[in-house]
Structure 1
Amino acid sequence: MRIAINGFGRIGRTILRQVLCQPGRQNVEVVLINDIAPVDMLAYLFEYDSTFGPLPLPVSTDGAALTVGDRQIPTTHCEDLTQLDLAGVDVVLECTGIARSSDVAERGLTAGARSVLISGPSPAAYVTVVLGANDSALGAHRIVSNASCTTNAVAPLLAAVESLCGIETAHMTTIHCYTNSQPMVDAPRGDPARSRAGALSMVPTTTSATHLIDEVLPHLAGRISGAAVRVPVASVSAVDLVVRTARDIDDARLRADLREATDASPVLGWTDLPLVSSDLRARPESLVIAGPETGTTGPRQLRLFGWYDNEWGFSARMLDVAARMAERGTP
């Protein structure tokens, strides 16, 4: 699979780390990195990562390419991808966060790439795909959204619960680490609470996953509500989900069925250990269910709690969805 990474921020850099350091990604060739920042800065931030630690490979640059180990990756600095020749690229991983309109999202196609995968929600995408929830929706679409990290965590869990005992209603709270959308010190943002220093307070806010779940799992539309609390942690988030089931449930049987479902899932995990958030750093699953925090609170009420590395797990799904898009061949 030949990919180009457009936008070498948190997700773009994490994707490249996985390509270079994980044996299962050896068939991925990164043919281009495009970012408006100087290449020496990109090299520095890639080699020394505050969350994942130093890269276990030497990194250097000659001003026109990023060399990591024995791989040399051409690096460009175009604000508009249509100025580049992307012929032969299977998938552009659109990680800039600005592909909100069709003219921006389509630039990779105009430059010659076969498909574009957007690393977040986008109204310009033809379809939003979450592995483990609506895989079959991918079809032959050429501009695809990989949804959000929280949607990737929650949607497969909801799909599993729906298949086991049905869902009347549910409410999720995502306990999410701070991100670049929050200031380090108090500074004006659109939302007053999100204007406060992200590393100093817990900040109640909204989550895009609420409406994305309606899109990804339309048969549950209107039945799932959600909220978020941003917390002073740099990595690894959590989901606290309370479900009113459609059928009576038995705690022991449901726990066994859930464990079986996660064992069979390529994106869900399970732990019976009393873990804390830092223990889940760099886990590749979309969600790891915490067994000790999961159980019934009545014949039709279920509480589930799970961890997700919102950067590493999401980046793993970007590569997984891109692989499926590449397998389709030329449209």
Structure 2
Amino acid sequence: MNAESHFKDWTAREEIAERLIPLVGSLYREFGVITTVYGKTLVHKDPTAIIKAHKYARKFDGASALNMSESEDVISTMIRLDLAPARVDIGKLISAYRNSNVALEEFLRGQLATIVDRKGSLLDAPRDVVLYGFGRIGRLLARMLVNKVGGGDKARLRAIVVRPKGEDLGRRASLLRRDSVHGPFAGSIGLDWENNALIVNGNFVKLIYANSPDEVDYTAHGINDAVVIDNTGKWRDEEGLGLHLKAKGASKVILTAPGKGSIPNIVFGVNHQEISEDVTILSAASCTTNAVVPPLKVIEDQFGIVSGHLETVHAYTNDQNLTDNYHPKARRNRSAAMNLVITSTGAASAAAKALPSLSGKLTGSAIRVPTPNVSLAVLNLQLSTETTREELNEHLRQVAMDGPLQDQIDWTSAPDVVSIDQVGNDH
């Protein structure tokens, strides 16, 4: 193509992408359907991101990008099918449809038979969610919960609990609105001073003050049967986290750090099947554990692991000092922004808890480095099955494209990728 043809091709695709936005939004809000292209979500994306998602498909579906006109036809037809809430990968649907000889609606009714004509909510009523703590993790969770609220019939952020520090509503809103790493919040934040609440994209989020989890009466704020997400890290055992269950209106607790004792440590996609209705306290494990366990699982399942060492190069955290200052752990006395700090990690033992087949096979070490976000884990593994680098990379590419861990594992072969390129990656 000549220069003018390239430009016309781009504007044509941009026009289709602009038409796709309300269609994707309608499926999401009215039906609870999340539309993806080989794992890349189209929900809440701008035209350029939608075009890039279709271009991404060429890694998996031949030499060319996915045809956006086909996507428009598929999504327009899906809206007429009264679908139940689900994740639908239109990239895979289009690939399969090209080899069929039936009309599009008939094909989609067959492929999506389990959710066709079953419009409705997953839950009888929205589940109340409370954030206990509003630091780095808490604010990012707030962004995610609001971004994924959809039609409001699933999980809804109802309150944030913090320690009393005076009239701090405005400052809390400011920290949610602006983030030095992740940039500005993509939405609207209003302040209800009279009710001490944030209005975040239409979600009324009450700011509650407490010094201990069992002090709170959530029912006084219209909150019932709530899932409390403790992101403070202050309590990590059953006794401490059990204080949340003494609060009126709370029924379950999720810890955003490794749990101690008998608390189940869950890596979603790997061992989430272990969660039962009678479990009231669970841990979402550590960031490192969530990073390394999914690839360890697919490597263990395909090739087997005899032994291995996990070397974590970890971004500094709020626990460290900006300048040299006292810390209970000697090396963390030193400035996080100026030093490589050798530290301990429980990633190896935590990985074995999520994958019992690796028990006793892994060791681990960690270094904190002067970067505020994105960490690196180097897996040095001895495999049971003789294989090549190409075979291993191809297997990881395939599981990133299609499989139960598609949401946990991303894949790239770009030789120039560095850590900052992964900021905001939602895997």
Q: Give TM class, smaller chain.
A: 0.7 to 0.9
In structure 1, which of residues 79, 86, 101 is the aligned counterpart of residue 218 of structure 2?
A: 86
- Change in CA separation of 1:54 and 1:25 when aligned onto 2, cut-off 3 Å: farther
1:164-175 counterparts in 2 under 5 A? 164-175=302-313
Partner of 2:202: 70
Letter in 2 for 1:2: D
Larger % of strand: which?
1
Once structures 1 and 2 are overlaid, which stretch shifts more, 124-133 or 76-85? Answer: 124-133
1:270 aligned counterpart, secondary structure: coil
| Equivalent runs, 1:85-124 vs 2, <5 Å | 85-86=217-218, 88-111=224-247, 112-123=249-260
d(CA) in 1 for partners of 2:251 and 2:135?
23
| Alignment partner, residue 324 of structure 1 | none
**Secondary structure of the structure 1 residue equivalent to 2:411:** strand
How many Å apart are 1:24 and its aligned residue?
5.9
Deviations 1:280-308 (A, max 9, x none): 111111xxxxxxxxxxxxxxxxxxxxxxx
Q: Which residue of 2 aligns with 1:317?
A: none
Distance 1:241 1:24 in 2: 37
Amino acid at match of 2:412: T
Q: How far apart are 1:22 and its partner, in Å?
A: 4.5
Alpha-carbon distance in 2 for matches of 1:72, 1:47: 15
Moved more, 44-53 or 175-184: 44-53
Listed as ranges, the matches of 1:267-306 within 5 Å are 267-273=408-414, 274-285=416-427
2:229 alignment partner AA? L
Alignment partners' CA distance in 2, 1:25 and 1:272? 37
Q: Which amino acid aligns with 1:7?
A: G
Higher relative CO (Cα under 8 Å, sequence separation at least 6) belongs to: 1
Greater shift, 190-199 or 276-285, is seen at 190-199
Q: Measure, in 1, the Cα distance between the counterparts of 2:388 and 2:182.
A: 40
Q: Distance in 1 between matches of 2:328 and 2:246?
A: 33
Task: Tell me if the contact between 2:307 and 2:361 (Cα under 8 Å) persists in the aligned partners.
Answer: yes
- Confirm whether residue 39 of structure 1 aligns to residue 169 of structure 2: yes
1:52 partner amino acid: H
Q: Is the 8 A contact 1:19 1:25 kept in 2?
A: no
Aligned partner letter, 2:352 = D
- Distance of 1:118 and 1:197 partners within structure 2: 28
Aligned to 1:15: 141
CA distance in 2 between counterparts of 1:35 and 1:164 reads: 45
Q: 2-side partners of 1:69 and 1:258: how far apart?
A: 37
SS at match of 1:128: coil
Deviations 1:183-218 (A, max 9, x none): 001112222222110011111211121221122222
Distance in 2, Cα, partners of 1:60 & 1:187: 38
- Report how far residue 135 of structure 1 moved: 2.0
Aligned-partner residue type, residue 49 of structure 1:
D
Correspondence for 1:129: 266
Alignment TM-score, normalising by the size of structure 2: 0.63
Root mean square deviation, CA, Å:
1.9
Structure 2 SS opposite 1:15: helix
In structure 1, distance between residues paired with 2:214 and 2:344:
35
Please tell me whether the aligned partners of residues 4 and 89 of structure 1 are also in contact (alpha carbons under 8 angstroms): no
Rounded Cα–Cα distance in structure 1 between residues aligned with 2:239 and 2:308:
37
Q: 1:237 to 1:85 in 2, by over 3 A?
A: same
Alignment partner of 2:330 out of 160, 184, 192: 192
Structure with the larger helix share: 2
Against the structure 1 CA distance between its residues 221 and 134, is the aligned structure 2 distance closer, same or farther, given a 3 Å change threshold?
Answer: same
Deviations 1:102-143, CA, capped at 9 Å, x for gaps: 332012222232211001012166211111322222223110
Deviation at 1:180, TM superposition (A): 0.9
Give ranges in structure 1 of 5+ residues lacking alignment.
286-331
SS in structure 2 of the partner of residue 72 of structure 1: strand
Distance across 1 between alignment mates of 2:395 and 2:209: 50
What's the secondary structure of 1:181's corresponding residue?
coil
Q: Distance in 2 between matches of 1:35 and 1:5?
A: 9
**Which residue is 2:185 aligned to?**
55
Q: State the alpha-carbon separation in 2 of the partners of residues 217 and 161 from structure 1.
A: 12
* Structure 2 equivalent of residue 231 of structure 1: 369
Structure 2 residues not aligned, in runs of 5+: 1-126
Whichever residue aligns with residue 230 of structure 1, its letter is R
- 1:247 to 2:385 alignment: yes
Give 1:237 deviation, angstroms: 0.9
- Provide the residue aligned with 2:3 in structure 1: none
| Structure 2 match to 1:216 | 354
The count of corresponding residues between Structure 1 and Structure 2 is 285
Decide whether aligned partners of structure 1 residues 255 and 24 sit closer, same or farther in structure 2, where only a CA change above 3 A counts.
farther
- Offset, 1:25: 8.7
SS in structure 2 of the partner of residue 114 of structure 1: strand
- Specify the SS of the correspondent of 1:164: helix
TM-score by length of structure 1 reads 0.81
The answer to whether the aligner puts 1:28 opposite 2:155 as a matched pair is yes
SS in 2 for 1:106: helix
CA gap 1:125/1:67 in 2 versus in 1, 3 angstroms: farther
CA displacement, residues 59-88 of structure 1 (integer Å, 9 cap, x when unaligned): 343161112243221111111222223352
